[in-house]
Structure 1
């Protein structure tokens, strides 16, 4: 706290006078480490003993125990272990129209789903021709029915479940057609995913 001293006078065994006016010291974040995605906007302008609660920016969830910061007399905030973790999207292959065997995507990298703000594409699987553009998607705050993805179509965005997805046409099978003496087949003209009888 800071303030100017005041004089007190003793008269007949009792002190009298104006008590000092003390103001809390302001706190700053100088040298303070805040994790990525942490929102501390309610903490600015605080003085000694005032508190604020940390939150996360959109698309992040907070983890940690010390979500409340206290402004100390030293002008520093109490330490925190709070971190904000980007939300993860689900499996796009479970969302229609991306659930077809003809559609593949780059939205899942091995064991890692896309995180909030990351982009990926839906395109045609091997054996299929792309008759439209690949679909650009972003991991966003979309409903579970869209696995968290939104389609980015120019300036417009909409939930992945509302997308038409890529248009994929099965490619014709032209190589490896059995050609053995004494056999016949209905393999000519078959396309990806179709079977034939010899």
Structure 2
């Protein structure tokens, strides 16, 4: 007030309104007019990686010299819990991952991992889709020629077997059982079936043979016969069955005729006691006697003498 030419006080001043200095929240970044706040200006907040704001990212310094709200806080961001894959395992920070945590995956034996082996938690999000475990299989097998195939063969399944057997007349060459391995390879190459052969037969003494005798194959036959004056003892025909002849080879035994005795008042010479096929027995009479009948008898292939003994 002007009193007698003098103002009754000093002119006032207009001071800029400020808000108190803000303390930077833990794990945050603070920008703008924050220390101190100036009326009408803002202080801006953001969080470090792995954290998120709990409230408004901007607060304003008001005319009242107070901030429009309390500073926000930064809370840790977590990734959702992961589940282990079927037929697999996981290890690491998988249940509730924090930023930077990793979760590793593996599959049980006979299963293969499809997808990322390791996932990383980045700002509340896993950096990939959880992998899966798929059953390992082996290539489809075909039955070898002259064989049969049983088991898990088309295709093979890891840990399972494929078995092979040969048809009659053949034997297996190689492994009779193949296993599908975790490498998705069979444990060995498929076997083959090779013909079974019977051992070579030697023709009998004083006899002949014909047919498949030198190296018999399954189902082949070998036939035998004897020379004149010999009799076949054993089977006339042998068959090769799965590498074994169905009986022992026969033999040729000499044919013999019954023993002859000298007639009364006569004598005999030659092969008479036990006639041998093809040989002769000769008869003669003592002085004063004449022979009635053939003087010579031959032992025939029928095991009979050529005629009745003379008298």
Both structures adopt the same fold (TM-score exceeding 0.5) = no
Q: Choose between structure 1 and 2 for higher RCO, CA contacts under 8 A separated by at least 6 residues.
A: 1
TM range (shorter): 0.3 to 0.5
Q: Which has the higher helix share?
A: 1
| Higher CA-based Rg | 2
Q: Which has the higher strand share?
A: 2
User: TM-score if structure 1 supplies the norm length?
Assistant: 0.44
